[in-house]
Every structure is written in C-alpha cells, then in structure tokens.
Amino acid sequence: MEFSRDAVQQELYERIVAAWRDRPAAPDASEFPRDEWDACGRLGLLGLAVPRQYGGLGADCATTAYALEALGYACADAGLVFAACAHLLAAVMPIVEMGGERLKAACLPDLASGRSVGAGAMTEIGAGSDVFAMSTTAIRDGDGYRLNGEKAFITNAPIADVMVVYAVTNPNHGYWRSSAFVVDGSQPGVSRGAAVRKIGLHSATVGCLRFDDCYVPGDRLIGKEGQGAAVFERAMRWERSCLFAAWIGLMQRQLERCVEVAKGTKRFARPIGKNQGVAFRLADMKLRLEASRLLVYRACWHVDTGDATRLDSSLAKLAVSEAAIQSSLDAIQIHGARGIVEETGIACQLRDMVPGAIYSGTSEMQRDIICAELGL
C-alpha cells in the first residue's frame, strides 16, 4: 500500500497549485464564478476520471484525489471547489461507471471540458437521509419515461445543464425499486427554484429541481432499470473519498497559515507558538490532517484495487468532515481577534466546513454505517 505521489501525480498536483497561485479569488463569493469554472475545465479538473476518448484525463481514484487536494490547497474559494466536486463525483462519475457507450459519447465531452455543468439529484425534502424513501417517479411511456417529482438541496441545480436524477420505477422491488437517468436541464417539464442561502460555500449554488411530466428517452437510463441504488452507491464511494481530499488540501493550507501566525505573532516578548495553549492546538491540527489523509487515500486505494467498501468511505468522510470543523475552530482561536474579522477569511473557512457534516450523508449516517459494518 503506497500513498506517496508518483511523478505523473506530482506534476499534476504542482500544475494545479501553480495555476491558482496568482489567481485572485474572493474567499466568500456569493455568485457562481464562471471564469474560475472555465479555468477548472482547462486544467482537466472537471473530467479527471473521464476516459481520454471522451475528453478526460483518464485518472484513477487516487490520482483524482491528489488533484482535488491540490485544488483545495490552492483555491481560496471553497464554494467553487465544492461545486466542481459535485459536478465530477455526483454527475459525471455515474455516467462513467455505469453509462452505456452512446450515453457517454453524448454527455461526457461537454461535462469533462466544463461546457456543461453537472448535478446529481437524489435528495428530497420528505426523504432526507433516507434517500430511498424518495417519491419522484419515472413511469414507462413507450420507449422512454415520464418523470414527476421534486428534488431539494441539489448542488449546481440553478445552473446545471446535465442532471443525474434518481426516481422510483418499480415501487415494489425493494433495493431494485429505483433507476438513474440523465436529464437535460433545458428540456420541457424541468423547472428550478432560486438558489438557497447557506451558512457557507456561497459560490456553490444550491436549489431545488421540479419535474412535471418530463419525458426522458430510454437511452438516457444509466445502467439498467432498477439499478438506481447501485449507481448511487458507486457514486457515493467516489464522493465520500475524493471530495474530502479537497478538504485535506484546505486543512493543509490552514495549518501552514496558523504556523506562520504562531511563529510571527509575539505576546509577552516571545512568539505565541511557544505557549503550550497555542502549540498543542497546532499539534492537534497536524494529527487530524495526517490521520484524515491516510483514511482518504486508503479509501481511494481500495476503489482502485476493486476492494472498496462502505466502511472505507464512511470512515474517511466522517474523519475529514469533523476534523475540518474542529481545526477551523482552532484556527480562529490561534488568530485571536483577527480570526473573527471577515476580511481575514478565517471565519469563512469555518462556515465552509460546517456543511461537510451534512452533505454526502450526515455524520450520524456515517456512524450508522460504521456500526452496521461492526455487526451492531
């Protein structure tokens, strides 16, 4: 088991960091940053794991995670990072993993380049963490389906061109009751709500999608009818691993900044880092970072070797999401009064990290999964 970057991965990491090093970005932007999105597309970030014949880089899971870690480290706008991850992991990867060749050829080139923005639409108001209690339906109509229902809290929904939508096709078939479809955002029967205001990740637009007798051709089905649960589970393995690699990058940048402050700020004629109250916070931040990094890359390694389990991705997701919140609180304390001043961006980091304990399955759901894997 080897987690160090090879030469190709290191070159990709350095190229991404260099591309963002001198790029100005508002740390708490409130609008979708189209210019930065296009820059992600040019770097290949929006199609990392897409096969090369469809315009992607053909990266494996670990390489995808390294690239997203670089983006999290270099890009000051965590909302953009989150929007790019949602596009790649919740919309693009289901098509890559289980889509037919015609569907891949039709959708992946524009998604990989960023010309199309993707969204993954599973969550509903009445279902929440019980994702398979959804009420959105897809009823057979000739060679296609009629889609009816509403999805909520969908990242990129207000601007998405391509949506991976999960709906009930066989309500009495248990695990096989749902299916996954690729839906064009411009087709009749699709409507969107306004972007909702959130605690953080402001430049990642989130909203609802409504489907009113929306006709979806049969060739837009991902996999086979009844495979919605399988499509979603495979997407979640990528998302709960790779998305949080981006947060490892952010935690690395955050720690480096806090160490600089601890060394450069003096109180009572010595650097504040010489005080155990500050130094021990930094030690804990380093511990959380490295432990989280190991869990993420172990999960990615298992995806690449074909041994991925729910336990791997849930441990990684839980560890990183909660570590990022605690380390953001520590960063505020280390910065003192500057930590709560908006212009420094430190408080913004905390707001951006709080949603991590909710999306991609709440911390409580991850603990539920871990307990189930322990046989409890």
How is residue 116 written in tokens? 């199309």
- As a whole number, mean pLDDT of residues 300-310 equals 87
* Beta carbons of 141 and 194 less than 8 angstroms apart: no
Predicted confidence at residue 273, as pLDDT, reads: 86
Among the residue ranges 4-13, 149-158, 284-293, the one predicted with the least confidence is 4-13
- As a whole number, mean pLDDT of residues 138-162 equals 94
DSSP-derived secondary structure for 348-360: HHHHHHGGGGTTT
**pLDDT of 27 strictly over 60:** no
- Is the same domain home to 195 and 212? yes
Burial (CB count <10 Å: 0-12, 13-18, 19+), residue 143: exposed
H or E element, residue 149: strand 144-155
* Beta carbons of 160 and 153 less than 8 angstroms apart: no
Number of H helices and E strands in the chain, helices first, is: 12, 10
Average pLDDT, whole number, for the chain? 90
Domain of 277, CATH number, reads: 1.20.140.10
Predicted confidence at residue 23, as pLDDT, reads: 67
Predicted confidence at residue 236, as pLDDT, reads: 85
Task: Report pLDDT digits (tens) over 74-123.
Answer: 998 999 999 999 999 999 999 999 999 999 999 999 999 999 999 999 99
How is residue 70 written in tokens? 């670089």
Predicted confidence at residue 2, as pLDDT, reads: 65
- Is the same domain home to 238 and 302? yes
Angstrom distances, CA of residue 257 to CA of 16, 159, 324:
20, 34, 15
**pLDDT of 22 strictly over 70:** no
- Is the same domain home to 151 and 237? no
d(CA 160, CA 137): 21
In angstroms, the first-to-last Cα distance of the chain is: 29
Q: Spell out the residues 6+ positions from residue 272 whose beta carbon is closer than 8 angstroms to its own.
A: 261, 262, 265, 266, 278, 334
Last residue of a domain, one of 196, 226, 256: 226
How is residue 139 written in tokens? 């009823």
Domain of 144, CATH number, reads: 2.40.110.10
* Beta carbons of 208 and 283 less than 8 angstroms apart: no
- Is the same domain home to 69 and 192? no
In a domain, residue 123? The reply is yes
**pLDDT of 1 strictly over 90:** no
Q: Catalytic one among 239, 342, 343, 364? A: 239
Q: Is 239 a catalytic residue?
A: yes
**pLDDT of 25 strictly over 60:** no
In a domain, residue 91? The reply is yes
Q: Using CA of residue 218, residue 221, residue 224, residue 229, what is the dihedral sign?
A: negative
Domain with 265, as residue range(s), is 229-373
Q: How confident is the model at residue 131 (pLDDT cuts 50, 70, 90)?
A: low
Predicted confidence at residue 24, as pLDDT, reads: 60
Predicted confidence at residue 87, as pLDDT, reads: 96
d(CA 246, CA 273): 27
Predicted confidence at residue 237, as pLDDT, reads: 85
Last residue of a domain, one of 164, 196, 226: 226
- Is the same domain home to 221 and 298? no
Predicted confidence at residue 106, as pLDDT, reads: 95
- Is the same domain home to 369 and 233? yes
d(CA 168, CA 132): 9
In a domain, residue 64? The reply is yes
- Is the same domain home to 252 and 348? yes
* Beta carbons of 147 and 135 less than 8 angstroms apart: no
